[in-house]
Structure 1
Amino acid sequence: MDLRIFTEPQQGASYDTLLAVAKASEDLGFDAFFRSDHFLRMGEGDGLPGPTDAWITLAGLARETSRIKLGTLMTAATFRLPGVLAIQVAQVDLMSGGRIEMGLGAGWFEAEHTAYGIPFPKEKIARLEEQLAIVTGLWETPVGETYDFDGKFYQLKDCPALPKPAQAKVPVIIGGLGAKRTPELAARYADEFNVPFASLEDTGRQFERVREAARAAGRDADDLVYSNALVAAVGKDDAEVARRAAAIGREVEELRANGLAGSPAQVVDTIGRYAEKGSTRFYLQILDPYDLDHLELISSQVLSQVG
């Protein structure tokens, strides 16, 4: 069972803050450090000191960590042209010695597009499909050959398809709760399928849709890793759980119902129930990046039991 730390820097975190979380994640035995790819805070708060770019951040962390995997949940297809994204991810993978995983999604937060002058197209899923084809196609093109793509939204001609990542295959993560197109894309392109912030019932239903899509595509459904992203608020006692929930502006009971909240024993039990639905990897959304004691508690009393 993999436990990964997942941060939301748009809510307010500098590179140095993220570096501290990433290093703590590595030192405490977590499998990976992931971050969102957003430019505008959500909900309350001032978002200070402002957003950090996901792939610039991961490039820095690639040079300042040595073991943990690094990646995004999810890079928005609306933010970058696919040829440029393929170069960025390949370069960061080289900088990390082959520790990068790329989550790629359609993009959904219209307000941040408006705020930063980024086009917000209507045909997001169709664009995502072309991006997945291009990025993976560029990485797969043999050295010395060129890559062409003639799509509705993107056209590439005589692309040298360089640089290549350090890994022979950069793992691609696709996620979401879409009933048809999302499972189909996962069956074609994903190494991992992630269900974000969903109930046990919705998780099981979506995993089965992906499995059915994989079988329909002639793929072994067990080739994919199935994972969940869930907000974490773990405490030694009820008072500590309540303090951590209050620090992120959430209610304890809501987090118990929709996340990994409670005592370590309760969280281990919740992880076990998601595992029964097929999940083997968990992204623990840490919304207070300054509370490193939280990571220590999860490592010593949760990871030690399920890792």
Structure 2
Amino acid sequence: MDLRIFTEPQQGATYDTLLAVAKATEDLGFDAFFRSDHYLSMGSGDGLPGPTDAWLTLAGLARETKRIRLGTLMTAGTFRLPGVLAIQVAQVDQMSGGRVELGLGAGWFEQEHKAYGIPFPKEKFARLEEQLAIVTGLWETKPGDTFDFHGTYYDLTDSPALPKPAQSRIPVLIGGHGASRTPKLAAQYADEFNIPFASIEDSERQFGRVRAAAEAAGRKADDLIYSNALVVCVGKDDQEVARRAAVIGREVDELKANGLAGSPSEVVDKIGRYGGTGSRRLYLQVLDLDDLDHLELISSQVQSQLS
């Protein structure tokens, strides 16, 4: 089971804070550093010092880390034109030496669009389908050839389809809880399917839908990696778990029910149960970005027990 660190910087974080977390992620042996793509805080808190841009952040981290994978859960399709996004991600992949992964979703948080003047179209999922076709099509176009796409929402003519990523294929992540369209889209475009904040039972059900959709599309179900994203709150004893839960404004019992919370042994046991669903990768949503001791504990007492 791969463990990846997943951050929510819109809740309040500077680039320097994210850099410290990314370097700890690398030093402590985690597989990857991922971040959300939002411009407005959610829930309580003022969001100070304000948002940071996902791909600007990852560009900086690409030059200041050496090993870890870097990516988004999920880049909002409403924030960027697909041609521009393909250029941005390919460039960051080059800057990282081929360590980038793209999670791409439709976008959903209307309030942040209103706050920053970003259009929030009704047909977001249909646009996402075209965006995936364009981004992957641009990357797959052979050097010297051109790429054309004439869709309902986007029109590209004689694109040189440059630059190319450092990797032969940048892994594409698609995720969500949708029962029909989402699995079909994952079967067509995804290297990895991620389900966020889902129970073991719901994860197993959704993974089954994606596996069936992959086979219906002519792919082997195991061609895809299946993963979960879950909030994490680990402590060496009950008092430390309670303290960490209080800092992020959550209740211990709720975290144990809906996330990965408790002692290292409790968390290892629950990870094993997620593994039983076919999940091979966990994105640990770390909400207190100043608590690097939390990452050290997870590394030494949880990750060390996983094969």
Establish whether TM, by shorter chain, passes 0.5.
yes
State the distance in 1 between where 2:165 and 2:222 align.
Answer: 25
Partner of 1:3: 3
Partner of 2:189: 189
SS in 2 for 1:165: coil
State the distance in 1 between where 2:230 and 2:10 align.
Answer: 17
Return the offset for 1:46: 1.1
1:257 aligns with 2:221: no
Correspondence 1:208-287 to 2 at 5 A:
208-287=208-287
CA offsets, 1:256-280, max 9 Å, x none? Answer: 0010000000000000000001101
Partner of 1:20: 20
State the distance in 1 between where 2:116 and 2:205 align.
Answer: 36
Number of equivalences: 307
State the distance in 2 between where 1:254 and 1:292 align.
Answer: 23
Return the offset for 1:255: 0.5
Partner of 1:55: 55
State the distance in 2 between where 1:302 and 1:102 align.
Answer: 27
State the distance in 2 between where 1:244 and 1:110 align.
Answer: 30
Partner of 1:94: 94
State the distance in 1 between where 2:112 and 2:304 align.
Answer: 39
Return the offset for 1:173: 0.2
State the distance in 2 between where 1:245 and 1:113 align.
Answer: 30
SS in 1 for 2:13: coil
Partner of 2:105: 105
State the distance in 1 between where 2:249 and 2:198 align.
Answer: 19
Return the offset for 1:43: 0.3
SS in 1 for 2:278: coil
Partner of 1:140: 140
Return the offset for 1:85: 0.0
Q: What is the root-mean-square deviation in Å for CA atoms of aligned residues? A: 0.4
State the distance in 1 between where 2:141 and 2:132 align.
Answer: 14
> What is the percent sequence identity of the aligned residues?
80
Return the offset for 1:206: 0.2
State the distance in 1 between where 2:264 and 2:220 align.
Answer: 35
Partner of 2:200: 200
State the distance in 2 between where 1:151 and 1:293 align.
Answer: 49
CA offsets, 1:233-265, max 9 Å, x none? Answer: 000001100111111111100100010000000
State the distance in 1 between where 2:273 and 2:6 align.
Answer: 20
1:211 partner letter: R
Q: TM-score, normalised by structure 1?
A: 1.00
SS in 1 for 2:74: strand
Return the offset for 1:198: 0.5
Q: Which runs of 4+ in 1 moved over 2 A?
A: none
Return the offset for 1:138: 0.0
State the distance in 1 between where 2:24 and 2:3 align.
Answer: 14
2:116 partner letter: Y
2:168 partner letter: A
2:181 partner letter: R
CA offsets, 1:117-151, max 9 Å, x none? Answer: 00111111100000000000000000001000000
2:169 partner letter: K
List gaps (5 residues or longer) in structure 1: none
Return the offset for 1:170: 0.0
State the distance in 2 between where 1:155 and 1:248 align.
Answer: 44
Partner of 1:33: 33
Partner of 1:123: 123
1:149 aligns with 2:149: yes
SS in 2 for 1:187: helix
SS in 1 for 2:58: helix
2:71 partner letter: G
State the distance in 2 between where 1:112 and 1:246 align.
Answer: 27
2:58 partner letter: L
1:288 partner letter: D
